[in-house]
Amino acid sequence: EPRFANMTALITGAGSGIGRATAIRLADEGAALALVDLNETGLEETASMLPEGCRARIYVVDVADEKAVETCAVDVENTFGGISVLCNNAGMICEGSWGRSQEDFADWRKVYEVNVLGAMLFTKYTREQLKASGVGSIVNTASVAGIRAGAGGNAYSASKAALINFTKTSACDFGEHGVRVNAVCPGLIETGMTKPVFDYARHAGKEEKLGSRAELRRHGDPTEVAATIAFLASKDASFITGQALAVDGGNTSS
């Protein structure tokens, strides 16, 4: 039987990149999907890429909008009868912050609202569904930037470090209910978020620099992160909780 047969997964940031690859992966393995993003066109595109017969619904929601998250969670419960997998994957970086420190209060607040509070809100409003499923699992998309100083600016790095710690405290909160909570920490992956970096490197003829921080000397593909998210969300990881697993080609290993 497929690993996610008779299970529903809610994925935020499902309109692009890693979230889209995760949606396709979980659907291929039998999951029904609640797909959340700000970007409606992106969500429709993701939905059109799912295998035939996959049950999916799209939700245009800002993960930092408490009321919208609560409404979404209620609709998901009514539509699917609750979720057993939550992927808090939506995230953002401030425009122009690559490689720089930010000191703008509004930038810091925005990054924290989406990257940290967004995960907190979906965790809060799906808590009872996850507990009731009996096999509940949360996977948060953090970053290698949350492990050491990252390329996306200090606000982004600090927000991802906060998300890693929130993953661990959530694992404590949920443990007695049998719900596991883990994080993936991707290295450099080619997605919408990193497009400026890839465009710049290609334009400047510095493509080989893109993977230079990874032991494997390359950047990663969203499907490689999606495969890890699927593993952590599945019963194959039934004794793993509170972990932050780097999917980074060895970027943080030395």
Interaction with ligand NAD in 53-72: which residues (CB under 6 A)? 62-64
Q: How far is CA 85 from CA 143, 145, 153, in A?
A: 20, 25, 30
- Residues 197, 23: Cα–Cα separation, whole Å: 25
- Out of 182, 191, 228, 251, the only residue in the binding site for ligand NAD (CB under 6 A) is 191
- Out of 91, 136, 211, 249, the only residue in the binding site for ligand NAD (CB under 6 A) is 91
Residues pairing with 10 in the sheet? 34, 86
Q: Should residue 211 be labelled a site residue for ligand NAD when binding is judged by CB under 6 A?
A: no
Q: Is 59 a catalytic residue?
A: no
| Minimum CB–partner distance for residue 1 and ligand NAD (Å) | 29
| Minimum CB–partner distance for residue 65 and ligand NAD (Å) | 8
- Residues 16, 46: Cα–Cα separation, whole Å: 7
| Minimum CB–partner distance for residue 62 and ligand NAD (Å) | 5
Q: Should residue 38 be labelled a site residue for ligand NAD when binding is judged by CB under 6 A?
A: yes
| Minimum CB–partner distance for residue 38 and ligand NAD (Å) | 4
Structure tokens at 172: 């404590």
Sign (positive or negative) of CA dihedral 117, 81, 27, 170: positive
82 conformational bin, left if phi > 0, alpha if psi -120 to 50, beta if neither: left
Q: Should residue 90 be labelled a site residue for ligand NAD when binding is judged by CB under 6 A?
A: yes
- 3-class SS shares of the chain: helix, strand, coil, % to 5: 45, 15, 40
Q: Would you tell me how many other CB atoms lie within 10 Å of the CB of residue 11?
A: 32
Structure tokens at 43: 């969500």
Site string for ligand NAD, 120-159 (x = CB under 6 A): ---------------------x-x----------------
> Among the options 112, 125, 156, 200, which is catalytic?
156
| Minimum CB–partner distance for residue 80 and ligand NAD (Å) | 19
- Residues 215, 142: Cα–Cα separation, whole Å: 20
Span between the terminal Cα atoms of the chain, in Å: 39
Q: Should residue 111 be labelled a site residue for ligand NAD when binding is judged by CB under 6 A?
A: no
Q: Is 33 helix (H, G, I), strand (E, B) or coil?
A: strand
Q: Should residue 189 be labelled a site residue for ligand NAD when binding is judged by CB under 6 A?
A: yes
Which region, judged by CB under 6 A, interacts with ligand NAD, from 23-31, 36-44, 209-217, 233-241? 36-44
- Out of 9, 188, 210, 244, the only residue in the binding site for ligand NAD (CB under 6 A) is 188
Site residues (vs ligand NAD, CB under 6 A)? 12-13, 15-19, 37-39, 42, 62-64, 89-92, 114, 118, 141, 143, 186, 188-189, 191-194
